[in-house]
Each structure stands twice: as C-alpha cells, then as structure tokens.
Amino acid sequence: MASSSRHAHLSRPSRSLIALADALARSGSRIEDDYWERQLGALLDRALSGKPGRTVESALDHLMDAQSQAYEVLVEQAENRSESLRLTHQGQAWEVLLFSAPILAWTRYKLPEGGLNPDHVRELEALLADSVAAPGARLALLPELIRFERLPQSFHETRAWTQSLALRALGGGPGAPIRSDAEQPDNLLADVLFLVGIIAVPEGEALFRWQDAQAERPAELREESAARWRANCARLLDPVFTGCQVEYLQPEAYYTSTRLADQRIRPLSLKAAVTWLQTAGHIPAKDLRAAIVACGEQGVEEYRVGFCTRENNDVIYGCVWPALSREEALPEPSTDDQINAWEEIAALLREEGIQDIRRLPGLQALEFCDDCGTPYFPNMLGEMQHPELPEEIDPEPMHFH
C-alpha cells in the first residue's frame, strides 16, 4: 500500500500529530522550535488525556514506515508528555515526574518474585527522600516491584500512571492502575524488576539532589547519590534476592530508565543462560555451540541465539536479544563507529567460554510455537527449531528461596 493511501486511513488527530512533528523536525531555530513544541504538546495532551486509543501509536507507525526524522521528534514529545505533568493542587502549581529504579537480577537458580513488604516500601521512600529527591519534594511509590510485562503498554497508560501517582503524592489519591492480566514468564534466569514512583515539586524547583544550584560539579553529586542508592538498596533488598547477582540502577525518568534496563539485561540474560547450561546441564562451555540469526518482519526486530552441543545440531536452549535502536536494526553497520550487534553478542559468548559461534545470513521470520508460544531458535545449520533440553537436564531452575 502506498504511503499516501496509508496516510488517508489515519484519524485526523494522528495526521495532525504527523504534520506537527514534521514541522518541528524541519525547524531551524529555537523560537520556531518553541512554537511547534507548544502546538504538538497541546495536541498530545488531548490525545493522552482522552479515551484510550492508538492515536499516537498510529502516527508513530506511519512515521517509522516513512523513515522520517519526525519519528524521533514525536517519540520524544510523547514520552515527555506521558511521564511528566504540570498541575495545580490546592492553589499551588506543581511539576511531577514518573520515575523508575530498575533492579537487574540474574541467577543459576530460579529468580524470586521480588515481593516487597510495607517496611521495605517505607524504607525505600525514606531512602529516596534522603539521597535522590530534592529537599521538599513529595513522593509516592507503588507498593510492589513491577516486571516488564506489567508496565504500561502505551503512552496513554503511562500518562494514567503519572496522573494517578501524582494525585497520591499530593493528596493521598489512589495508586496507579497496575495491569493484572499480564502473564508472568516462567523459569526466567535473568530479569528486570522496577521500583516505580512519582516525584512532585513546586513548579520551577529542582527534582533531584544533584540539581543543587550551589554545586560546582553536579556530575559528582549525581554519582554520590547513585552510590548511596546502590549501597542502601543492597542492604534492604539483597535478602529478597538470595542466590542472585543483583544490580540496582539509580532512579531516573521512566523512559530513560526502562531503556537503560532493556540494554543492561541483554548481556546478563546470555551470561545466565550459559551459566545455567553448565551447572544444571553439566555441559562445559567448550562443548557448547551457538548460532545467531536476525529476525523480524520488515527489518531486524531481534537477534535469536540458539545453543547446541558438539554432539548434534538440536537446539537445546535459546536467548532473544532485542534490537533497541535503529542502528541495531540495520543488517550491517554502515560505518565503523556504529553499533554492531552481531559482534557484541559473539564477544559476550566468547567471554563465557563458547568458541564455536556461527552467524547465519538473511532475515528469519518471528516464529513461535503454536502450542506454548516459545520462540524458535536457529541451529548450526540455519534451521529454526523449538528448543528441547536433553532428558537428563531438569528444565526447572532450582529454587534457592
């Protein structure tokens, strides 16, 4: 279908978003930027505050297909308008930011659910107030750790979380409408859990401690804050993650932190898989082989890594490496300084002791098992297979809790 035909099937608000994002992308001055940002922001506010729909997502789908620079503009503006708000409460103007603090965990056993009790929540709120938020900021935390599957799945949902938690921070309103219907993945060896909350400050004041106007080196303040956060989270939460390697990332704006967590969990997932195959399967790394293939519909959406033994080409386990940027979605880097996902994955596998690594040509479809939904992974011959562990390996990671 031609681009103009697809454009005709978009709603009027989606077409307006596309036009304003394109105008902002073409702007040549700060004054013109400000004008288009105000127009685009007002339209996004209406779209995100109204009935749930796909107004923003439809516009982004169109811009992505057109490979337009306006895509990046609209993503940035939609993120800003859904994770941050200006509102008035009891005559006071406030600025609020939805944030998350990712917790990366991996294990050779089975990941715990990561439950928090009321004492954990109170101590974490105190820690946020003491080491992260600016003095006088108001805070509200969700009372549980949230996995990726239960995070907002649209900008509209993110905006709803921001509004609900802002009311709770300022006036004791209800918490965010957490998704309860998401299926939790089984037998994960590495995952991210998110501590999610809101910071609210009077309009124009600093959100974070490292924004101290008297500080000569705000970067040092930021690192000191991160160090205190890591140390105190370890003291509070390491018992919740017994048997795991854990990394506590600093609280940051919602979309920034979730992107960072996406990037940081990928190598940990590979490491956890190889470690588990060696410990649970008693397969030395030198006896493991790995095949890597790019998968997607129109372009590279993810890389799939299939693990085989030296004895045969049957896939016994697999890992998914999502492509998180346009550069990573390119089949080949166009310049030497661009991200090369192939080499990054292969280097990590070699670090874990796997030397027989095969890169497979072409783009494979995103195939899944019709019965259980498991992704298919490549074997050393380039065949996509359902992973099947040898009978002597217990597929259930051992509980350590």
pLDDT at 184 (0 to 100) = 58
* Residues 165, 196: Cα–Cα separation, whole Å: 10
pLDDT at 299 (0 to 100) = 84
Going residue by residue through the chain (401 aa), what tens digit of pLDDT does each one get? 444 545 657 999 999 999 999 999 999 999 999 999 999 999 999 999 988 888 999 999 999 877 789 999 999 999 999 999 999 998 999 999 999 999 999 987 778 777 889 999 999 999 999 999 999 999 999 999 999 989 999 999 999 999 999 999 998 766 666 665 556 556 678 999 999 999 999 999 999 999 987 777 889 999 999 999 999 999 999 999 988 899 999 999 999 999 999 999 999 999 999 998 998 888 999 999 999 999 998 789 999 999 999 988 999 999 999 998 877 777 665 555 556 889 999 999 999 999 999 999 999 999 999 988 899 999 999 999 999 988 766 656 544 43
DSSP string computed for 347-367: HHHHHTT--EEEEEEEEE---
pLDDT at 257 (0 to 100) = 97
pLDDT at 2 (0 to 100) = 44
DSSP string computed for 144-189: S-EEGGGS-SSHHHHHHHHHHHHHHHHH----------PPPPSS-S
* Residues 136, 129: Cα–Cα separation, whole Å: 8
150 Cα distance to chain centroid: 12
pLDDT at 282 (0 to 100) = 87
Closest Cα partner for 300 from 336, 261, 340, 256? 340
* Residues 183, 117: Cα–Cα separation, whole Å: 22
* Residues 81, 162: Cα–Cα separation, whole Å: 10
| pTM for this predicted structure | 0.87
